[in-house]
């Protein structure tokens, strides 16, 4: 495993992440990249206490995430980096973050979005973002839990958008 596993999941830290992905990846650190959560003391506290004490948790802004991820790479920390939305992924890449692969775990229903997989709802804007990320050479798959087979987003986008 690359020492950083990037995942988009609008629930951020929850049971599947802690019991599934953290264990599967042998991650020692979770980095939540989300401006809103960084500035919400209650939500931040809830996430921090939901994680076992042997796992480090860092909740950071998009702007500060570049340095934090770089630090994890230099220390070779097995890290699960979580985004709540695709827009923040694009913002971090624009700021200089290098992402080779991206896991889509959960993007819930919202008005104007349609189901493309069991746990993923997208609208046209999301589809365009994913196409841009694919054009940058980023491998993108859909996989809610480590025990599921992953689905390649490229084929799904061709069929649905």
Which is the CATH superfamily of the domain at 4-160?
Phosphotransferase system, sorbose subfamily IIB component (3.40.35.10)
Residue 82 tokens, joined: 């979580």
pLDDT tens digits in sequence order for the chain, 161 residues long: 579 999 999 999 999 999 999 999 999 999 999 999 999 999 999 999 999 999 999 999 999 999 999 999 999 999 999 999 999 999 999 999 999 999 999 999 999 999 999 999 999 999 999 999 999 999 999 999 999 999 989 989 999 89
Tokens describing residue 154: 């490229």
Angle at 79 between CA 53 and CA 76, to 5 degrees: 110
Domain boundaries, the chain: 4-160
pTM over 0.75: yes
Number of neighbouring beta carbons within 10 Å of residue 90: 16
């Amino acid at each position: 495993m690359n020492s950083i596993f990037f995942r988009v999941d609008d629930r951020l830290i929850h049971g599947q992440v802690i019991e599934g992905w953290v264990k599967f990846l042998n991650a020692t650190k979770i980095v939540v990249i989300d401006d809103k959560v960084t500035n919400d003391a209650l939500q931040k506290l809830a996430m921090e206490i939901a994680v076992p004490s042997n796992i480090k948790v860092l909740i950071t802004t998009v702007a500060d995430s570049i340095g934090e991820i770089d630090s994890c790479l230099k220390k070779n920390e097995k890290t699960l980096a979580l985004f709540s939305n695709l827009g923040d992924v694009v913002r971090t890449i624009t700021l200089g973050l290098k992402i080779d692969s991206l896991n889509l775990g959960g993007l819930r229903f919202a008005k104007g979005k349609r189901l493309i997989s069991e746990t993923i709802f997208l609208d046209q804007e999301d589809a365009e973002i994913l196409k841009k990320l694919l054009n940058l050479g980023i491998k993108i798959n859909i996989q809610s839990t480590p025990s599921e087979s992953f689905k390649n987003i490229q084929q799904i986008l061709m069929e649905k958008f």
